[in-house]
């Protein structure tokens, strides 16, 4: 029996190791494929750069085929699978994975299978097609398949997304948007309820909180965009609750980029959601005071991290979730150099989650312009200000990760385009952070017009320049522009 168990556990370890190796190779494959397609978009097939990159990809594919027999890369439900194994991506590989999923979607493709015997010239031609076919063309998949056939690529096969899946994917995208909105409002409701329960010394339904955060994690992993819009909406009556939900969402997004495991993301979301819980113990009038705080009021406000710890201790048992929440509640205003509050007696390294939440918290508070930061800044201005304090207040690398999430022109930024039109950023392109999607709200004469969304990545081949570029950002409050009305998620 003992022997059997030990054989079983060593088998299991062996399988786990094998899975881990495949996972690593899978991430590498996606990354190399991304680099190869990018190279193909710039260089011709006989260019040295292209050939060099393509060789790297070929070597990796050969190695994988030797081990696995064949390669099956599938894009399904917002994830990439290699031979049935779901691939997970960290910061370095994140953009590449998004790019490849986008390629699958744009080419109407669900699967790529590469069989034993594939040659480097087959692979070169295959990759080159991605760089040179226009995905906007009608029946792009048929065209793509026809080219593969014509070029004599026999060891690489592609499979179209079945129509029913495409329809359901479209539906699920819409459904996800609806669910995202609902879950975001759930988050606000959960915070509101938790805070009022604590005020009246009732218990907080932790299972409900966990389920809500888990839903947020799932939805954010599938569609960040909707949540970026939702966090850009500002509501002045329920600032504290919405702020908590915003910080929760932004922190999870940052965690996704860092490649954190789902359970860790949930822990992060939970801690972020309750980072300001201490405010429940401060007078309502103080929290919502419409004017600047005096010194004594600041003393009170600065107590909310410790009060947060106490509040969490008062309603939660000590487990992984609550302990992380305690840590984040305590550290989120400490600053990286510990110059913030509360003052600490010993030097300490801020926890990863506290570093993330402090960035999300500052960003949301500064763009909201409520509570004790009385002046609001536009999202891009906020990022600039935060960037100046990088390494002092905020972890510099995490701040960069955060900007990669929200974009250089975050959703909600009021911009002027080189056409003279005014627009509001309504979505970012992670491939090109300076070229978001913009909803145009006024023409070059200042006239209101039908709203139209333009993608700033759109390139005019004939004029050899982009159709639209941002030339300036503006402060919406100064011109009485309510950004939220242009962002309302359908």
Using CB under 8 A, which residues numbered 143 to 182 contact other proteins?
Answer: 182
d(CA 267, CA 253): 13
Q: Using CB under 8 A, which of 397, 451, 453, 459 touches other proteins? A: 397
Q: Using CB under 8 A, which of 34, 98, 177, 234 touches other proteins? A: 234
Q: Does residue 489 belong to the site contacting other proteins (CB under 8 A)? A: no
Q: Using CB under 8 A, which of 42, 49, 299, 344 touches other proteins? A: 344
In 69-132, which ranges are continuous DSSP H helix?
Answer: 91-106, 120-132
Q: Does residue 35 belong to the site contacting other proteins (CB under 8 A)? A: no
Evaluated on CA atoms 69, 75, 80, 85, the torsion sign reads negative
Kindly identify the residues of this chain, within the stretch 345-374, that bind other proteins according to CB under 8 A. 345-346, 348-349, 351-353, 355
Q: Does residue 274 belong to the site contacting other proteins (CB under 8 A)? A: no
Evaluated on CA atoms 159, 162, 168, 171, the torsion sign reads positive
Q: Does residue 484 belong to the site contacting other proteins (CB under 8 A)? A: yes
Cβ atoms of residues 188 and 248 within 8 Å: no
Taking the least distance from each CB to other proteins, the nearer of 42 and 344 is: 344
Q: Does residue 64 belong to the site contacting other proteins (CB under 8 A)? A: no
d(CA 391, CA 387): 9
Kindly identify the residues of this chain, within the stretch 439-468, that bind other proteins according to CB under 8 A. 441-442, 445-448
Taking the least distance from each CB to other proteins, the nearer of 60 and 313 is: 313
Residue whose pair of structure tokens reads 């060593």 in the numeric block:
10
DSSP secondary structure, 184-234, as one string: HHHHHHHHHHHHHHHHTTPPP-HHHHHHHHHHHHHHHHH-HHHHHHHHH--
For residue 276, the surrounding DSSP H or E stretch is none
Q: Does residue 280 belong to the site contacting other proteins (CB under 8 A)? A: no
Q: Least distance in Å: CB of 141 to other proteins?
A: 26
Q: Does residue 428 belong to the site contacting other proteins (CB under 8 A)? A: no
Nearest in space to 409 (alpha carbons), one of 369, 368, 447, 367: 367
Q: Which long-range contacts (CB under 8 A, 24 or more apart) does 332-340 make?
A: 332/275, 332/305, 332/357, 332/358, 332/361, 333/302, 333/305, 333/358, 334/305, 334/358, 335/392, 335/393, 335/394, 336/391, 336/392, 336/393, 336/394, 336/395, 337/392, 337/393, 339/392, 339/393, 340/393
Taking the least distance from each CB to other proteins, the nearer of 25 and 93 is: 93
Nearest in space to 440 (alpha carbons), one of 432, 450, 430: 450
Kindly identify the residues of this chain, within the stretch 88-117, that bind other proteins according to CB under 8 A. 91-92, 95
Identify which range of 24-32, 113-121, 314-322, 358-366 contacts other proteins by CB under 8 A: 314-322
Taking the least distance from each CB to other proteins, the nearer of 61 and 350 is: 350
Identify which range of 36-44, 97-105, 130-138, 306-314 contacts other proteins by CB under 8 A: 306-314
Q: Does residue 76 belong to the site contacting other proteins (CB under 8 A)? A: no
Q: What would the x/- binding string for other proteins be over residues 176 to 215, using CB under 8 A?
A: ------xx-xx-xxx---------------xxx-xxx-xx
Tell me, what DSSP letter sits at residue 475?
-
Q: Does residue 299 belong to the site contacting other proteins (CB under 8 A)? A: no
Q: Using CB under 8 A, which of 84, 136, 294, 490 touches other proteins? A: 84
Tell how far CA 459 is from the center of its chain.
25
Compute how many residues bind other proteins; rule: CB under 8 A.
95
Q: Using CB under 8 A, which of 115, 159, 432, 455 touches other proteins? A: 432
């Amino acid at each position: 029996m003992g022997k059997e168990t030990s054989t079983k556990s060593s088998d299991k370890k062996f399988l786990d190791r094998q899975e881990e190796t495949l996972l690593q190779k899978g991430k590498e494959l996606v990354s190399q494929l991304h680099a190869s397609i990018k190279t193909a978009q710039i260089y011709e097939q006989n260019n040295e750069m292209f050939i060099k990159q393509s060789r790297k990809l070929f070597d990796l594919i050969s190695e994988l085929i030797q081990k696995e027999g064949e390669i099956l890369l599938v894009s399904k439900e917002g994830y990439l699978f290699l031979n049935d194994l779901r691939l997970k991506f960290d910061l370095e590989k994140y953009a590449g994975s998004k790019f490849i999923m986008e390629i699958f979607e744009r080419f109407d493709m669900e699967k790529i299978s590469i069989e034993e015997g594939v040659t480097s010239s087959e692979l070169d031609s295959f990759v080159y097609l991605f760089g040179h076919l226009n995905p906007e063309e009608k029946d792009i998949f048929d065209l793509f398949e026809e080219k593969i056939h014509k070029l004599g690529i026999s060891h690489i096969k592609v499979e179209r997304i079945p129509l029913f899946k495409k329809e359901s994917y479209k539906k699920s995208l819409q459904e996800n948007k609806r669910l995202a909105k609902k879950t975001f409002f759930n988050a606000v409701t959960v915070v509101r309820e938790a805070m009022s329960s604590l005020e009246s010394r009732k218990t907080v339904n932790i299972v409900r909180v966990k389920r809500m955060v888990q839903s947020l994690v799932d939805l954010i992993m599938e569609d960040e965009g909707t949540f970026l819009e939702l966090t850009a909406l500002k509501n002045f009556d329920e600032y504290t609750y919405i702020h908590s939900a915003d910080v929760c969402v932004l922190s999870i997004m940052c965690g996704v980029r860092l490649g954190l495991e789902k359970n860790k993301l949930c822990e992060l979301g939970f801690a972020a959601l309750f980072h300001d819980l201490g405010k429940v113990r401060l007078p309502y009038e103080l929290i919502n005071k419409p004017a600047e705080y005096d010194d004594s009021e600041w003393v009170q406000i600065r107590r909310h991290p410790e009060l947060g710890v106490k509040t969490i201790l008062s309603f939660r048992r000590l487990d992984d979730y609550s302990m992380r929440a305690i840590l984040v509640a305590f550290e989120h205003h400490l600053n990286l150099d510990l110059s913030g509050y509360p003052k600490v007696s010993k030097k300490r390294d801020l926890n990863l989650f506290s570093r993330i939440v402090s960035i999300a918290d500052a960003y949301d508070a500064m763009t909201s312009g409520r509570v004790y930061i009385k002046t609001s800044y536009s999202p891009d201005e906020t990022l600039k200000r935060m960037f100046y304090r990088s390494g002092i207040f905020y972890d510099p690398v995490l701040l960069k990760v955060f900007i990669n999430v929200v974009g250089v022109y975050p959703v909600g930024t009021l911009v002027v385009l080189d056409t003279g039109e005014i627009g509001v950023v309504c979505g970012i392109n992670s491939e090109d952070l300076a070229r978001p999607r913009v909803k145009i709200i006024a023409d070059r004469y200042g006239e209101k017009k039908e709203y139209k969304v333009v993608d700033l990545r759109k390139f005019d081949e004939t004029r050899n320049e982009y159709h639209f570029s941002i030339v300036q950002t503006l402060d919406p409050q100064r011109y009485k522009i309510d950004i939220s009305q242009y962002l309302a998620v359908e």
